Amino acid sequence: MRLQYPTSVQIVKVPCTGRVDIIHMLKAFEEGADGVFVAGCMEGDCHYLAGNIRARQRVKRVKEILDKVGIGSGRVEMFNLSAGMGGRWAEIAREMTERITQLGPSPIRIAREKGQSSAGEKAA
């Protein structure tokens, strides 16, 4: 299909979105990610029955945490699509990238970069 999607999207492969835990999403933000989206199978089509349903609940919890820590729940989202929906995948990647671009860089990344540059200044 040769579909294009933004190069800023980094893929972390998991056997099932049921493997994605709250801490994995939080760690991504700690490491400076501007946004995270979880792409699971269509609801009702999980090979492990409820992996994608569990992932949705965990994304919901991460949204609550992100609101509380001041990063904002809009930076994380859950999507459902099948392995045969390549077009939709590219669309979601573009949609999410656009949303994150509008939100701007994550305040954590800004804080980290500021910290690193001030540490660099101190070292210099």
**Element spanning 59, H or E:** helix 51-69
Select 87 or 115, whichever has its Cβ closest to other proteins: 115
Any contact of residue 42 with other proteins (CB under 8 A)?
no
Residues 6+ apart with CB under 8 A from 105: 34
Any contact of residue 30 with other proteins (CB under 8 A)?
yes
Select 55 or 71, whichever has its Cβ closest to other proteins: 71
Q: Look-up: residue for tokens 């029955």?
A: 49
**Listed ranges 1-9, 45-53, 85-93, 106-114: which one lies at the site for other proteins (CB under 8 A):** 106-114
Q: Is the dihedral of CA 7, 10, 16, 18 positive or negative?
A: negative
* Backbone φ and ψ of 46, nearest 5°: -70, 130
Select 1 or 12, whichever has its Cβ closest to other proteins: 12
What is the contact surface with other proteins in residues (CB under 8 A)? Answer: 21-23, 26-27, 29-30, 65-66, 68-71, 107-108, 111-112
